[in-house]
Amino acid sequence: MKALFVGGNGYLGRNLMKRMAHEETSYYSRHKIDQPGYEQFNWLEGDVGDHEKLVPLVKDYDIIYYMANSYSQDEKESFNANVQGIKSIANEVKRIDKNQRLIYFSTANVHYGTNEYFRTRRTGEDNATLAKNHLNVRLSFVFGGEGDNFLKIIEDLFAKGLDRFPKTGRLCPTHMDDLAETLKKSDKTIGAIYTNSSSMITFLDAMNIYGKKMGKPEVKEAAGFLSRNIEEKLIEEKKIDKVLFDRLVTDYYRETSSVIRFIKNEKKFEDYITALPKA
């Protein structure tokens, strides 16, 4: 099976290309992965906004993973990455009509978020359904693998001096290995799946689990009056932007998660952190 990862040089793309282990894999992105271990993957240089270059590639692949993504609060940038790119590909898959598989990476809170990011992800999911053989993957936060992006978020907030955060929103982070295995076991599913784990930790919990391992001071819970204005305070102090804050405080738990269904022994965030070398 030939696979195309659109936006495949990011954290999710790099790790999933290795774990999905298709017979032939290409990735379409602006930059080539220059790390060892990716030589077997074919780089197709291009921007997701260049539809004239991207769309003609679709016919050559059995499965297309759309992982281009923008968390920008700029409406044009978010629309181009989260909406227009997947629409162009889905329309081409529909036109070709050879039952190609189209997988769109979305978020578990796609129907509940109120900012521009969530709105564009909802529209992106709608566009993916133009292809008959489609799957919308509603992610929680993902950890593990090379270039752990979840830990980078925590490290960045520690570096900015974040010392208080609300204890709200079950984050249910999922290990990259469990995500890949769930995608493999969902290869016949059409529609949408949730990929949250069963772990009920909040982002505050995750910060302190990792912080303790790295010798960082405890981040206190913003409760009572502080919890009502903490978002405004953190944004004003430039410690966090609104899109990220919204993503970190909403609830990701879904009891219908395909990870919970398919993975008997989930890799827990706490165990992952315990196994890391100390700072």
Span 75-102, average pLDDT: 85
* pLDDT at 12 (0 to 100): 94
Checking if the pLDDT of 7 tops 90, the result is no
Span 172-177, average pLDDT: 98
Ramachandran angles phi, psi of 188, nearest 5° = -105, 0
Q: Are 133 and 256 in contact (CB under 8 A)?
A: no
The tens digit of pLDDT for each residue in 117-140 reads 778 888 899 999 999 999 999 999
Q: Are 128 and 136 in contact (CB under 8 A)?
A: yes
Checking if the pLDDT of 216 tops 70, the result is yes
When pLDDT is cut at 50, 70 and 90, the band that residue 93 belongs to is very high
* Axis crossing angle, helix 85-96 with helix 116-128, rounded to the nearest 10: 10
* pLDDT at 80 (0 to 100): 66
Which of 32-46, 68-82, 157-171, 229-243 shows the lowest mean pLDDT across its residues?
68-82
Span 212-230, average pLDDT: 86
When pLDDT is cut at 50, 70 and 90, the band that residue 8 belongs to is confident
Amino acid (1-letter code) at residue 62: D
The tens digit of pLDDT for each residue in 21-75 reads 999 999 999 999 998 999 999 999 998 888 899 999 999 999 999 998 755 555 6
When pLDDT is cut at 50, 70 and 90, the band that residue 111 belongs to is confident
Ramachandran angles phi, psi of 42, nearest 5° = -90, 120
User: Please, what are the domains in the chain?
Assistant: 2-139 (3.40.50.720)
DSSP calls for 67-79? ------S-HHHHH
Prediction pTM value: 0.93
Span 9-19, average pLDDT: 94
* pLDDT at 100 (0 to 100): 98
* pLDDT at 184 (0 to 100): 98
Q: Are 147 and 11 in contact (CB under 8 A)?
A: yes
* pLDDT at 139 (0 to 100): 95
* pLDDT at 119 (0 to 100): 81
Measured over the CA atoms of residue 149, residue 201, residue 203 and residue 81, the dihedral's sign is positive
When pLDDT is cut at 50, 70 and 90, the band that residue 278 belongs to is confident
When pLDDT is cut at 50, 70 and 90, the band that residue 226 belongs to is low
The tens digit of pLDDT for each residue in 197-209 reads 999 999 999 999 9
The residue written with tokens 């305070």 in the block is 233
